[in-house]
Structure 1
Amino acid sequence: MGAANSETANGPVAILVDDNAEVRDSLEELLSSVGIDSISFSSAQEVLNTKLPGRPGCIVLDVRMPGMSGMDLQQILAAKGILTPIVFLTGHGDIPMSVEAMKAGAHDFLTKPVRDQTFLDAVSAAIEADAARRAASAVAQKNLALYETLTPREREVLRFVVSGAMNKQIAFDLGISEITVKLHRSNMMKKMNARSVSHLFNVCQSLPADIQCQLKMASAAGKAVAESAARAHFA
């Protein structure tokens, strides 16, 4: 297994998995020339036996290797929830194999020999995608932590606010005064660090699917409340 370069220990990293030592050395040198750190493994099993670095990166993976194949490793990593993008680099690829790999979530599929720039472009694109995914995940975790600080009543108000309901409509549906709604709404907006309703809506879009499902249900309820209030107004 190759060691990480100390100068870029906090930067992006390419994890090279190939049973050919010459290929690994060549790729390490190429990546180093553009400032990308690399860690090498000679087998898929070595990858599974090692804790991968927690920084943006990608896995450059051969398909045919002694023991576990690259395609098998791809499936195992996915089952483990390891979402680091995979760039396949193989001398034994064909169209059906590339289609299968891409359907399983591979970021790219390259065949040897490959132009240096083509390889570097694929690795760079995969690293950028991983960095974006990690950033989005960090924001989602932060927003979930904010949501969890809300009281049950503030969560109810949140659901109606993102559905577009007015304070009077929320008060009617929840059976509380409009002044109380305004208080809960103000506290909720502060806890969610939301500058406006549109900002609050964007924040909620990063929340887990089950919470977003509740918000959609509330949206339907909010429309029903609005329709009821309109009918009462013109009655």
Structure 2
Amino acid sequence: MRVADGVGLTEVAARERGIDVRAATGDLGTHDLIAGKAGPIGLVATVHRGDDGRRRGDEGFQPVGPAPVDQCRGDEAVQFVEPVVPVTGQRPIEFVTEADVVLIGSGVKTRDVVADDRLLSMLPLDPGRQLIGSQCSGALVLARLGLLGDMPVCTDRTSRPFVEAENVRVLDAPFHARGNIATAGGCLASQYLATWVITRTLGEAAAQAVLDYVAPVGENDETVERALGVVHRGSGLTLR
């Protein structure tokens, strides 16, 4: 089974922040897209790594470490130092046409992403043969791609008014699925999206095993029952 999870969207996020994406994808050797996020800061920076694992840039090599972020707070300028997390794409964005499962994540730049017709044209998703899911503001992408029809969705409270502005009905629920499309609302609702994908691809027994493995100690049974129950109610799947 092949899964695409937001591949290629980091490049868009970098462009939105004025990062030199051309350099990041050029011939400077192995590169990492470094992304860090702390509330409204949303730091994204691009660096390159040489074979020795050190940064590579116009000013030579420098050790990989926390990146400074400037943020204005009222009349005061505050500098934060934020740890960076390397993000590498295993597949180009065109891989979404081959994937059996496509999960669209969420982020502070989703509205900018859905306004990019060029990018959306690179996502010819097919719910006839693919399982397609969205998390929080990812529902906006499904709406702009015209995949929802009259299907209601789940999204987070912050994204709700923007999703409703697309003439999509938003449910007061953490998870809803119809056919091969599912939506989840709220970060912790990702467990229901995962449960749905595993159940649809590998079966209920596999979903139970995964949930039992990751459940908080002492809460195994109730975690499994709750997740399967939410997916059952939200999709009409016969899980038992």
Q: Same fold (TM over 0.5)?
A: no
Q: Considering fraction of residues, name the structure with more helix.
A: 1
TM-score (norm 2): 0.28
